[in-house]
Each structure stands twice: as C-alpha cells, then as structure tokens.
Amino acid sequence: MTVADERKGRPAAAAGTDPELACPIGPVVDIVFSRWTTPILWTLHTHGRQRFVELERRITRITPKVLTQRLRQLERDGLVVRTYHPEVPPRVEYEISEFGRSLGPLFAQLAEWAAQNLDTVEEARQAYDGQGAGH
C-alpha cells in the first residue's frame, strides 16, 4: 500500500486495479484542468492581481456564477489567494498563490507542446473526419 493510498483510506489492491486510482496524475488533472480553472490561473499569472470584474472581462465566456464557484475552489485548493479590503465599497482581489505559481513550468510545457503539435492534431482530425462515419 502506498502512502497516498493509506492517507485516502484506499486498499492497496484498489490502486492496482482501478484505472482511475492507478493513474498518478489523475488527481492533478482533476484539480488543474477542470473547466475554467486553466483560463483563470493563466489570466491571474499573466495579468497579476485582479478584481472579479477584471477577470470577468478577460474571460469573456464564463458566467459570474461559475467564476465565483471556480475562484472559491481554487482558493480552497490553495492555488488562488483572495484579499478582502474593508473599504466603502468593499474591494476584493484575487491573485495566483506561490503554490499556484509552481504550476508555471507545467503550463509552459503545455504551451510549447500546443505550439508544436496542435497543427498535427488538426490534420489528424481532418483525415479522420474525411474517412466518413463507417471507416
């Protein structure tokens, strides 16, 4: 049994047989690559500390409700810091935490992979789609 399995109360056998538990990056993907998480973290990393309305303007297709939910989850996960300023009117700002910044190299690698490979993915999709439904 691994330490991670022990902490989560999982039997060692389950980790070896359950594909979701066997993949060591599954939990990371769930945390970091949930819908809207990446654009929020990318925006905070690129533009620094921002108010809610600034995030809303930069991530145009996200609804206020979803932005609120994702920011709360990111704060809960330790990836975003929320700062409340008791002014009139109150001001709240969000910024990526030091822990969140530790994802920078991962995002940089993914951006590099995207730049090098997305054209190939598009070509593969077009070739696949050109085969017709019954290929």
The H or E element that residue 109 is part of is helix 104-130
Res. 27 pLDDT band, cuts 50 70 90: confident
Where do the structural domains in the chain lie, given as residue ranges? 3-99, 103-135
70-90 per-position pLDDT tens digit:
999 999 999 999 999 999 999
Closest CA to 36 of 64, 5, 2, 3: 64
- Calculate mean pLDDT across residues 27-39: 87
40-65 per-position pLDDT tens digit:
999 999 999 999 999 999 999 999 99
State the burial class of residue 45 (Cβ atoms within 10 Å of its Cβ: 0-12, 13-18, 19+). middle
- Calculate mean pLDDT across residues 3-19: 54
- CATH class of segment(s) 3-99: mainly alpha
pLDDT at 132: 72
